Amino acid sequence: MTREREIVDRCEVSCIHEDKVKEVRQRMLEEEAAQSLAQLFKALGDTTRVKLLFALMQQELCVCDLAAVIGLSESAVSHQLRLLRHQKLVRFRREGKVLYYSLADKHVERLFGQGFEHVTE
Amino acid sequence: MTREREIVDRCEVSCIHEDKVKEVRQRMLEEEAAQSLAQLFKALGDTTRVKLLFALMQQELCVCDLAAVIGLSESAVSHQLRLLRHQKLVRFRREGKVLYYSLADKHVERLFGQGFEHVTE
DNA sequence: CAAACATATGAATAGTTGTTCAGATATTAT
DNA sequence: ATAATATCTGAACAACTATTCATATGTTTG
């Protein structure tokens, strides 16, 4: 047995199902899409932000109220709201000095709904 | 004006809408529930895991295939699969030495669906 | 305009997370 | 039993993230 043959043999010793891998790879989602999706879920994947969104599911609230509801500094809340804003999960309207935040659309509620179902089953 | 009244007054100097805060707090979700939900979304909030789940949406695959599909070491994939397993997002069956992973249930697909809608709109 | 207030932001820091590497299990074949 | 293979696991390290603190911005009121 030559040295080359040995190497080839070693490479073939693998559990990969080439056909499956090829097929799945072709229908795989783009790197960018995967990242966007991950970022969306990442935005939902934090206890503080879950609480913020849950509170906003009930009614629109200002930063100050949100801070009081979840028991965190207004600064911390503001930072997190920015993140949620960038993911278009919340929006806000200004009334004088006060900014009232609310959920951006129905997607968030549905995502939460699905999440709840999964967690509480 | 008594001393007590003074203190109350001072506390009122704030943007907090006490009534709203009280109401929302009462209907607030438990700390534990918030954490579970956050953990679920956190599990979905990573590019590698998004790819893994997307691949598994197409068909069941072994660790080795998954590693080949997304171009990462088997060890890294295994670590991530464990996380997904703990969140009950994937399950597996053994066939000899090989473990075939697949999505745990329909929740994941629906969550992904909702996520996609949000990201690609 | 200046003071007061609600919110936002930047920097710093502590805590968390993903990958790699080395080694451990578990299953099958010899 | 031993060797080979597929997967798992623990430790370590780099990269990322959430909160805090100090300060800035923007809006109203006097």
pLDDT tens per residue, range A70-111: 999 999 999 999 999 999 999 999 999 999 999 999 989 999
Contacts of B24 in chain A (CB under 8 A): 55, 58-59, 61, 65, 69
Whether residue B63 contacts residue B23, with contact meaning beta carbons closer than 8 Å, is answered with no
Lowest mean pLDDT: which of A8-17, A36-45, B11-20, B85-94?
A: A8-17
d(CA B48, CA B93) in angstroms, rounded, equals 22
Rounded to a whole number, what is the distance in Å from the CA of B67 to chain A's nearest CA? Answer: 9
Reading the block at residue B5, the tokens are 């009244």
Instruction: List, in sequence order, every beta strand (DSSP E) within chain A.
Output: 61-62, 90-95, 98-103
The pLDDT tens digits of the residues spanning A38-54 come to 999 999 999 999 999 99
Domains within chain A, CATH numbers bracketed:
31-119 (1.10.10.10)
Query: Residue B115 is encoded by which pair of tokens?
Result: 């996520």
For residue B13, the model assigns a pLDDT of 54
- The average pLDDT across A53-75 equals 97
Instruction: Please tell me which residue of chain A has the smallest CA distance to B34.
Output: A47
β-pairing verdict for B98-103 and B90-95: antiparallel
- Of A105, A98, A41, A40, nearest in space to A66 by CA: A98
- Per-residue pLDDT, A107: 86
Q: What is the pLDDT of residue B103?
A: 97
Phi, psi of A87 (to 5 degrees): -90, 10
Of B21, B51, B59, Cβ closest to residue A34 = B51
Q: How confident is the model at residue B2 (pLDDT cuts 50, 70, 90)?
A: very low
**How far is residue B73's CA from residue B78's CA, in Å, rounded to a whole number?**
9
Which positions 90-119 on chain A have a beta carbon less than 7 angstroms from any atom of strand D? 94, 96-97
Beta strands in B1-121 (DSSP E): 61-62, 90-95, 98-103
Q: List residues bridging with A103 in a β-sheet.
A: A90
- Mean pLDDT on B26-55: 97
* Predicted local confidence at residue B121, as pLDDT: 84
For residue B112, CA distances in Å to B6, B64, B89 come to: 54, 24, 12
Average pLDDT over chain B, rounded to whole? 89
Interface of B with A in 27-66 (CB under 8 A): 27-29, 31, 33-47, 49-51, 54-55, 58-59, 61-62, 64-65
User: For B59, phi and psi rounded to 5 degrees?
Assistant: -170, 160
Q: Which residues of chain B does A16 touch, with a Cβ-Cβ cutoff of 8 Å?
A: 64-65, 68
Residues of chain A above pLDDT 70, percent: 89
Q: Is the Cβ atom of B35 within 7 Å of strand D at any atom?
A: no
Angle at the Cα of A89 (from B51 to A35), degrees rounded to 5? 20
Give me the pLDDT at residue B10, please.
41
Rounded-to-integer distance, Cα A99 and Cα A84, Å: 15
Question: B25 and A58 in contact by Cβ < 8 A?
Answer: no
